[in-house]
Amino acid sequence: MKTLSETRLFGGVQGVYSHPSAATGTEMTFGLFLPRAARTGKVPLLWFLSGLTCTHENAMTKAGAQAWAAEHGIAVVFPDTSPRGDGVADDAAFDLGQGAGFYVNATQAPWAGHYRMWDYIATDLTRVLFDGFALDEGRQAITGHSMGGHGALSLAMGLPGRFASVSAFAPIANPTQSDWGRKQFTAYLGADESAWSAHDATLLMRAHGFDGPVLVDQGGADQFLGLLRPEALAEAMVARRQEGIFRMQPGYDHSYFFIATFIRDHIAFHARAMADSGGSGAGS
């Protein structure tokens, strides 16, 4: 692992690091905020998965998460959204290829060689973080925005017991029924739609839900509402009797201004859940 930068803020350190990834076969970059408490012991970890076109940097610099994470004594990791570099497949469209990994393990050419973002988050980066930093593997939570909200919800429900809580900002909530999903799943996973269901938060919620609390914030003036399909996820949460909160925020759009407005609530939500988890079982 290489240290690219480390900057002091709110009593802690915002670092940027790179490492060779076995999952993607490329060099990957991530941001990690460590609060002051990490100097003396292991701290809980919140994952923030970003959306289409983003790198590790967007949420790290725009979401405003560090101040509230410092207040609660939790770390926040900001992974990249796809493999990158020479020889990594790409597409001219913004919603496929580099910057648009969709947190799945691709099985189709030309993507299968590098686009294994599920394994990268679930296993590869996980090991780098817990082997290299003062983080409590038994206290993890996950959040994300848009494509990253889709990733956070699908990873949380697809890895039972790993995360104490999950939240999302304007997630792609029903990708098997949206052009933000059907296009990418066909490219990455193939035309057999039975392979898609493990990556659709609405279908996962209907099937078995999440074993902890859920928080979803959706902007009422989001310009991408038709692609996100939040109503499908809300209906599935009610049908499942899922422990959780779905909030429609009038007037808010899809931008980081929306995220920055409500990030304090999300970090407090996850801090409570990770405190209640007591450091046992959540990392199993």
Closest of 195, 189, 188, 182 to residue 89, by C-alpha: 188
CA dist 130 to 92, 125, 183, 214, Å? 36, 9, 35, 24
What does the CA dihedral 202, 203, 206, 212 come to, rounded to 10 degrees?
-60
Are 68 and 269 contacting, i.e. CB atoms less than 8 angstroms apart?
no
β-strands 214-219, 166-169 pairing: parallel
Give the span between the Cα atoms of 231 and 217, in whole angstroms: 12
Q: Is 254 a catalytic residue?
A: yes
Three-class secondary structure of residue 130 per DSSP: helix
Q: Which of 21, 82, 146, 154 is catalytic?
A: 146
Q: Which residue has the tokens 């779905």?
A: 246
Q: In whole angstroms, what is the distance from residue 176 CA to residue 18 CA? A: 33
Strands 27-34 and 214-219: unpaired
> Which residue of the set 154, 165, 222, 266 is catalytic?
222
Q: Residue 228: which residues within 8 A CB-CB, separation 6 or more?
A: 146, 170, 171, 172, 173, 178, 180, 218, 222
Q: Which residue in 114, 150, 199, 254 is the catalytic one?
A: 254
Pairing status of strand 214-219 against strand 244-249? parallel
Name 248's Cβ contacts closer than 8 Å, sequence gap at least 6.
218, 220, 230
Catalytic annotation, residues: 146, 222, 254
